[in-house]
Amino acid sequence: MRRLRRGLVRAASEISEGVRIALANLVGARLRSFLTTLGIVIGVMTVIAIVAIIQGLNASFESQISTLGAGTVYVSKFGWFVAGRDAWWEMRNRKDLGRRELEAIQREALHASAIAPMAMTRGPVTRAEKEVSSVQIIGTNAQYLETGAGSVAAGRFLAEIDVDLSRNTVVLGAELVDRLFPGATAEGALGKKVVVNGIPFTVVGTIGRRGQLLGMNMDANVIVPYTTFLRDLGGKRSLNIAVAAAPEDLPALEDELVGILRRVRQVPPDKKDDFALNRQEQFLKVYRQLTGALYGVAIGVGMITLVVGGIGIMNIMLVSVTERTREIGVRRALGARRRTILLQFLIESSVVAALGGAVGTALGLGVAQLVALLTPLAAAATPSAVALGIGFSAGVGLLFGSWPAWRAARLDPVEALRYE
Amino acid sequence: MDDALILVEDLCRYYEVGGETVRALDGVSFAIERGEWVAIVGQSGSGKSTLMNLIGCLDTPSSGSYRLNGADVQGLADDALADLRNKEIGFVFQTFQLLPRATALANVELPLVYRGVSRRERRDRAEAALAAVGLTNRMHHRPNELSGGQRQRVAIARALVGEPSLLLADEPTGNLDSSTGEEIIRLFDDLHRRGHTILLVTHEPRLAARCPRAIRLTDGRVVGDGPGAEVATLTAARVVHA
Ligand SMILES: Nc1ncnc2c1ncn2[C@@H]1O[C@H](COP(=O)(O)OP(=O)(O)OP(=O)(O)O)[C@@H](O)[C@H]1O
Ligand SMILES: [Mg+2]
């Protein structure tokens, strides 16, 4: 027990001594330490800045993507991500999706928990002398909200009877409430008349604020029964159909939808689908490809500069070992073991590197903040990035400091004491 | 003889330099009891430092045996030698060998750091050791803020702080003027009277003459061993200690 305690105290005091010596040497040779760590500072700064920006992008992207239902398949003529003009023209020339497809899905998609058509157009919405131009007008049914499209803030959503009777009822997005009824609460809009694309509608409800999706304002819209939409606002548009399911049913649902749609649209077995099933996941996939490439660049740049920085540290530690040969001799004479000397120099190189890493991290976060201020990009600094920046630099110091430290530990005490 | 603090028998240390063998120590034997104060004298190159390094466990002999405190030092691993130096031996060097960036106190604490003594005890003992050499008011000075004599006293405090069995001083007055050197020697005298065992390498016959015993080396061999006053003035003939 006593021996163990002594050993622990010895290890602890050697480590704290090592850190103390390292710091004293740092202060003693400020300019040199600064130059030594420059490589590490720049490397860590670059990596941290890029990572912070990516993480910022991630955070804003995730909050945006969540406005699309996670468990929703969007059936459409167009795929969300089109590779090339030919593919786009091919999609353009497809048959429109219409009521036939909608009704077939409603009849046969057993895995669906909600099915909502989405007919869309843009047009002005006015009330008295107030006008909001180019509003997204969505024609849908009572199940629309269940496909992950927000929730009611005031009043009610469209009911089945609104759809069945093609009523002129409308649900307003949050921004429309703000702009058409300035100063009023959401309730203040209920029962009021607004004119959508020249047709009068009665407000029955409002939707809570949803924010942006990739620059698209998700609150600047109005929602009307799709039957009314097709009758009054344009019947010749292709429908999109949002089909929701429990997450575990999604693969089955997709298979089901493919079968239903191919049959209804009479796609010959040797032809490809003439429709697209879009999912939130596709956004994520494309997004991850983009940020993955960015990460790759960050890691590449970071590695190169860290190696350069590490070589700088190795060089300066070799100089330091030579300069302090007599000190090493003295320490050995006073009872320092080889591994004590090794530890001391390892601590020194990793403390120097970690300080460089800390400075680099601070600068990197500064750069990221600057980018966030000057561009629409967001930046977020997670504690893990900071810990990683500092820890990684310390590791580089440890790695590149090990050869000089080994040389120091191997010195013969008599030779070292005689060294001029 | 068995309870001698130092017992060396036929100790040899050879160096190979450019194909030639330099016999720095060539069959040295003697014993030193606890509490003795022994001067090692001899001309430059006679092997004094080489002998001190071997006795200080900084170096290992080419042949011969060395027992410290009854224990064979031969064949000890490097770590064990380091621990032995830490516990049993206090070094005082001609060039002081203080760490330039550390205060006097930190310098004196160093042997205790390598022994795993707690911070508080380290401080207390280092302060006491510095007080014992009369440096209470210089504890927080760095070496370059101290005079030569003061530096050497810091070094002596550092050598003493771990309460070693043996104090090894290789020309401790070599870099000091004669009156400061005298101060240091008086300090050794004092330590001797308090029971410390001291081995002192010196060039100056005057200093050796003050030691109760002196060993003279010539070309790596013992050519005189006896009372300091006799050996110090001796030039060649061998004095056999009674
Ligand atoms: N590392 C070494 N390599 C080769 N020869 C050495 C080495 N160290 C000492 N010697 C030789 O050993 C002999 C004894 O040297 P040592 O340093 O012990 O002498 P000294 O008595 O201490 O001399 P001084 O009074 O000048 O300090 C000398 O001839 C020296 O050249
Ligand atoms: Mg010498």
In chain B, residues with a C-beta closer than 8 Å to the C-beta of A419 are none
- Mind listing the pLDDT tens digit for each residue in A373-404? 887 766 776 778 788 888 888 999 999 999 99
Question: Same structural domain for residues A30 and A104?
Answer: no
Residue-wise DSSP of A381-416: --HHHHHHHHHHHHHHHHHHHHHHHHHHHHS-HHHH
Taking a contact as any Cβ pair under 8 Å apart, which residues of chain A between 376 and 415 contact chain B? 413-414
Whole-Å CA distances, A95 to A112, A276, B153: 24, 12, 100
Domain assignment of residue B130, yes or no: yes
**Which residues in chain B are closer than 8 Å to A417, comparing Cβ atoms?**
58, 93, 97
Domains held by chain B: number? 1
Residues A338 and A317 occupy one common structural domain: yes
Residue B63: strand, helix, or coil: strand
Judged by CB atoms closer than 8 Å, whether chains meet at B101 and A417 is answered as: no
User: Which of A183-187, A189-193, A259-263, B110-114 comes out lowest in average pLDDT?
Assistant: A183-187
Same domain, A136 and A213: yes
Q: Across the interface, which of B53, B82, B118 has its CB nearest the CB of A9?
A: B118
Please state, in angstroms and rounded to a whole number, the distance separating the CA atoms of residues B106 and B85: 19
* Ligand number, closest to the Cα atom of B169: 2
Read off the DSSP letter of residue A186: G
Predicted confidence at residue A67, as pLDDT, reads 64
Residue B18 lies in a domain: no
Give the tens place of pLDDT for each residue, A237-266. Answer: 788 999 998 888 888 999 999 999 999 999
A56 and A187 fall within a common domain: no
Give the residue, B74 or A237, on which the prediction is more confident: B74
pLDDT (tens digit per residue) in A63-82: 677 666 678 889 988 888 77
Given this model, what pLDDT does residue A217 score? Answer: 78
- Is the domain of A192 the same as that of A148? yes
Residue B217: the pLDDT is 94
What's the domain count of chain A? 2
Residue with the smallest CA separation from ligand 1 atom 19 is B45
pLDDT, residue B55, reads 96
Over residues A205-226, the mean pLDDT reads 84
Atom number, ligand 1, closest to the C-alpha of residue A414? 1
Domain boundary among A228, A254, A279: A279
Pair A225, A99 in one domain: yes
A397 and A254 in one domain? no
Residue B123's H or E segment, with its range, is helix B119-132
Cβ atoms of A257 and A109 closer than 8 Å: yes
Q: How far apart are the first and last CA of chain A?
A: 43
Domain, as residue range, for A395: 10-64+284-418
pLDDT digit string, tens, across residues B131-165: 999 999 999 999 999 999 999 999 999 999 999 99
Residues B54-68 pLDDT 10s:
999 999 999 999 999
Within 8 A of B102 by CB-CB distance, chain A residues are 24
Q: Is residue A256 part of a domain?
A: yes
DSSP A200-266: EEEEEEEEPP--EETTEETTSEEEEEHHHIIIII-S-SPPEEEEE--GGGHHHHHHHHHHHHHHHTT
A203: left (phi over 0), alpha (psi -120 to 50) or beta: beta
Closest ligand 1 atom to residue A418 Cα is 1
Which residue has a Cα nearest atom 13 of ligand 1? B24
- Please determine, for residue A155, whether its predicted confidence score (pLDDT) is greater than 50: yes
Q: Which domain holds residue B190?
A: 35-46+87-241
**Amino acid identity at A133:** S
The answer to whether ipTM exceeds 0.90 is yes
Distance B44 CA to ligand 2 centre (A): 7
| Mean pLDDT (chain A, rounded) | 86
- Within a domain: residue B51? no
Q: Beta-carbon neighbour count of residue B224 at 10 Å?
A: 23
Task: Give the mean model confidence (pLDDT) for residues A154-179.
Answer: 92
Residue range B201-221: mean pLDDT, rounded: 92
- Residues A227 and A192 both lie in one domain: yes
- CA B128 and chain centroid, separation: 21
Give me the CATH number covering residue B95: 3.40.50.300
Q: Is residue A3 part of a domain?
A: no
Q: How many residues make up chain B in this entry?
A: 242
Q: Of A341, A414, A332, nearest to B170 (Cα)?
A: A414
Domain boundary among A235, A252, A279: A279
Is B59 in Cβ contact with A9 (below 8 Å)? no
C-alpha distance across the termini of chain B, in Å: 14
How far apart (Å, rounded) are the C-alpha atoms in residues A130 and A77? 35
**Spatial contact of A233 and A104, defined as CB atoms under 8 Å apart:** no
Best mutation site among B15, B175, B201, B223 for ligand 1 pocket (most ligand atoms within 8 Å of CB): B15
**Rounded Cα gap, residues B102 and A25, in angstroms:** 10
pLDDT at B237 over 60: no
Q: Where are the alpha helices (DSSP H) in A66-173?
A: 85-92, 99-108, 160-164
